[in-house]
Amino acid sequence: MKSFLSITTFIISFYFFSSFFYSVLADIFTEPIGMARFIVIFFGFIISIIISGTFYRFLEDRERTWFPPKRRLLVTAGIIFFLVAVFGIDYWNDYREKPVLAAMKVNVESDSPFYLLIDRNEERLKLTSEKDIKQFFSYFEEVTVQRVKEDEWQLGKAYSLHLYNEKNGHRSFIISNGFIMIGESLYEVIDGDWNPMGVMKFLEEKT
């Protein structure tokens, strides 16, 4: 029983700590790739090993008292149900329909200036006026998206943008006619008046 509980503890710890380190590094780097991704996995793994190992030693002298045969079945069933529920809800939340700004995880009410880097001309654009910020995000306000598999991407004219704000951190995304790639996640536009050319025209006028 202690082995099962320790393995479960490792899985849960690794999942949550990896997500935590990924979110931290996403605020430092445009996208946690390469060495940054290795750091996420490494520290998540090490911390999870320490926690699960400590929990295993803690249970060694208490397993028989705490988990008699009948209770073991209930605990095992409860843990399996918990894991299925947690990962199931996470998967549902990831692939459900949502406003594109929610998928981008951007707080448009931030008082800090927004910086935009347009890859195709390598120009850095700084949006500071409330009018410019509202106009930029107005292109995304009524757009609803849903995450899809990468092999569903329909290649076409696309633009790569990097958005930075002190409170929001880094966000990178690629916009095209019917799709928006946010970080490494691909979303299909399923509702709203999506106009990527309007976005680029607005940015070109500001550069």
Cα–Cα distances in Å, from 128 out to 22, 29, 69, 112, 152?
28, 22, 64, 8, 36
Q: Is the pLDDT of residue 194 over 50?
A: yes
Q: Rounded mean pLDDT of 175-193?
A: 86
Q: What percent of the chain has a predicted confidence (pLDDT) above 90?
A: 3
pLDDT the model gives residue 119: 64
> pLDDT digit string (tens) for 24-41?
665 555 444 556 667 777
CB-based contacts of 5: which residues, under 8 Å, 6+ apart? Answer: 55, 56, 59, 75, 79
Alpha-carbon distance 183 to 49, whole Å?
29
Q: What is the DSSP letter of 49?
A: H
Through-space distance between the first and last CA atoms of the chain, rounded to whole angstroms: 63
Name the nearest CA neighbour of 143 among 96, 108, 92, 180: 180
Q: Is the pLDDT of residue 43 over 80?
A: yes
Least confident of 18-27, 57-66, 105-114: 18-27
Report for 16-20, 25-29, 128-132: range of highest mean pLDDT: 128-132
CB 176 within 8 A of CB 157: yes
CB atoms within 10 A of CB 175: 23
State the average pLDDT for the chain.
79
Per-residue pLDDT band for 132 (boundaries 50, 70, 90) equals confident
Q: Is the pLDDT of residue 113 over 50?
A: yes
